[in-house]
Each structure stands twice: as structure tokens, then as C-alpha cells.
Chain A
């Protein structure tokens, strides 16, 4: 697996979309290539951080308004 392939596959892996049969070769590549390994660690940490920090909850008054709207359907 080339570094270019590894970069493409690592994003699919982080997204939960990598085909299982490619997973082992991707991690073999990470074992052998420090640059790709570091890039994977940082990118996956960033994706998790973005996901955790940017979660939002609808304000209660909005939830009530939408519930009323749907109930009136």
C-alpha cells in the first residue's frame, strides 16, 4: 500500500466506511510508516474532538414548538 492509498483509506476508516478486507493492510502500512501513522492519529483525534465539541441540543422552547407543530398534524 502506498502512502497515497493509506491517506485515502484512513479517512474512510475514521468515517467507519473502510471495507474490512483493507483494514489489515492499512494498519500494516501504519506500522511501517511513521508519517502516515502520525497523520492517522492526529486526524482521528481531530475528528473525535470536532464531533464531541460541536454537539448541540435544541433549546427547550424550540422542542416544545416542534412537538406542538407535529402533534397538530
Chain B
């Protein structure tokens, strides 16, 4: 790379630092580990800079590197839904989507405005990882289905279904979370 290309590469990589740090926090749940993961991701990106075409999708490329790095580190650990109601979540996540729509009462209205960051993080933490990462990439990182498919290395149809199902599970979880917390306005 000449100096102009190097500066451009640097800018394209740095543009996604905040997003990558947010994603790392979701993956690691710890600020120090998240910072380490971000540094490792950029180190790998630098090593593989020859595979990157300037002006192409730096975000999807960096997120895929981060995810693969994290998966390799976590390979020996199996994440199970924990927290709010692990078994219930697992049961819900196995249901067909039309069946899921008929499952239980609608979470209703009126609780959403009262939610805090920690409520949403706790509920997201309780989702099975496949749904959580699709929802995070779409609703937090603002990625398109095509980008998410590229980061997760899955077909676009699977991205759609994971986002659909993940959001529905999250709505039920957040409504229950609010009910259990005895919040005003719980439906």
C-alpha cells in the first residue's frame, strides 16, 4: 500500500470502531475483554489487509473477523440461555414462527418507554445466541440483511427468520421482565 492507500485504509477501519466495541461488549459482556477483542480484531485486519478492497464493505469484513475471533476463543464453551427463564426460552425458540405468534398473550402496550439499558441487556442475554446476534446486528448496529448474512455466514432467509423470531422472543421477555419487576403500566 502507498501512503494514500494506507491513510484511506486507516480511515475506513477506524470508522467502525464504536460499532465494533459495542459488538464486542455484546459478545464478551466485560469492558476489558471487549477492548482486548477489538484490538485483536484490528490486529488480524491489519495482517489480512491484502484481502480487503478499499471502498468495499469494511464493516461487514471487520465484524466477521471479530465474530470468528470470538468464536474460536469460545469454542470449548457452550452457551445456554440463562437468566430470566432458560428452559422457557429454549422451548419458545424451537417453535415454528406461526406457532410462536399464537403463544401466550400479546405482551401488550405501555411498558416499552419504561425500559432501561440494563433491562434490555438482561433480556438479550437470555436469548439463544443465534437470535441475539441477529437482533443486535440489525437493531443496534443497523446492518442490512446482506451485511448480516455476510458476518454470520448464513443465507439471507435465515437472517430474516432469526431477526423475526429474536424480536418476538425479546418482546415477550421484556414484557415479563417488566411484570416481574412490578413496574407501573405493566399489561
Enumerate chain A interface residues (CB-CB to B < 8 A): 3-4, 7-8, 11-12, 14-17, 35, 38-39, 41-43, 45-47, 49-51, 53-59, 62-63, 65-67, 69-71, 73
Contact = CB atoms under 8 A, between A and B. Distances in A.
Contacts of A65: 39
Contacts, number: 122
Contact of A4 (B25, B49, B101): B101
Nearest to A4: B98
A58 B37 CA distance: 12
23 contacts: A8-B164, A17-B144, A17-B160, A39-B106, A42-B107, A42-B112, A43-B167, A43-B171, A47-B138, A47-B139, A49-B120, A50-B120, A50-B135, A50-B140, A55-B18, A55-B22, A56-B25, A59-B21, A66-B38, A69-B46, A70-B9, A70-B10, A73-B6
B14 interface: yes
A15 B21 CA distance: 22
Q: Nearest 7 CB-CB pairs, A to B? A: A56-B22, A58-B21, A70-B10, A11-B164, A53-B117, A47-B139, A54-B140
Contacts of A46: 112, 167, 170-171, 174
Contacts of B106: 35, 38-39
Most buried by A among B18, B43, B108: B18
Contacts of A62: 17, 21, 35, 38-39
Interface in B160-176: 160, 163-164, 167-168, 170-171, 174
A58 B109 CA distance: 34
A50 B106 CA distance: 19
